[in-house]
Amino acid sequence: MKKNVLSLSLILFSFCAKSQISVQTYGGNKETELLGIYSKDFKTKWNYFASGTVAYDYHSGKVNPEIYQNLNYGIGKNLGVSAGVHISDQDIMPSVGLAYGKENDVFGISVFPAFTYSADAKEFGLGLYTLLEYTPKINERLNLYTMLIVESDFSFKEHQSSSQVIRLGIENQNKMQFGIGSNISQTGTHFETEINFGVFIGKKF
């Protein structure tokens, strides 16, 4: 099953990569990662959102692809209902829930709280994906660039996994970004934590 999931993840990530609006490469002390984020509003109330990563672990030599994607339908101001799937080389987790999104020239937020089902553990649970970006002007040529991605998955009995992607840097007029960051992850009931510090460079289209 893991091989099938891996192949499916690569296919889906390749599809999304053709239409990315934001791409970042990240080099850390434990792994290197390529991150892509795509969001498209259709002429109707529909929206498609996807966030995909391909990470290379220095110690194990493994390549780990992962994609989170959902289709959203607006039911009110900045609020909608959502259905999607989170795919990794370890699990497939379909989900249904809510979608909240708001954006202006310097601030953007997307939040997706959902009910989930783990195909691997065969358990229902709760999930949360949050993306925050804040890019206020420093001067006429540069913006401060900050980004935070928070993901959490819980069964109805215990914590499964969580992660935080943190970026702090500079963005120029061409929407090129560079700076420092960290990828933090917690697993299991005792929240065993791993931290990967590094630098990033990105481009927003």
Q: List alpha helices for 37-158, DSSP H.
A: none
Q: What digits encode the pLDDT tens for the residues 91-103?
A: 999 999 999 999 9
Other beta carbons within 10 angstroms of residue 55's beta carbon come to 19
Query: Among 103-107, 125-129, 166-170, which is the least confidently predicted range?
Result: 103-107
Q: What digits encode the pLDDT tens for the residues 19-74?
A: 458 999 999 999 999 999 999 988 789 999 999 999 999 999 999 999 999 999 99
**What is the DSSP track for 14-57?**
HHHHTT-SEEEEEEESSEEEEEEEEEEE-SSSEEEEEEEEEEEE
Residues across the chain: 205
Would you say residue 139 has pLDDT above 60? yes
Question: Cβ contacts of residue 11 below 8 Å, gap of 6+?
Answer: none
Query: Among 17-21, 129-133, 140-144, 158-162, which is the least confidently predicted range?
Result: 17-21
pTM, full prediction: 0.88
Band (145; pLDDT cuts 50, 70, 90)? very high
Amino acid at residue number 22: S
pLDDT of residue 146: 98
| CA distances to 127, 156, 192 from 189, in Å | 15, 12, 8
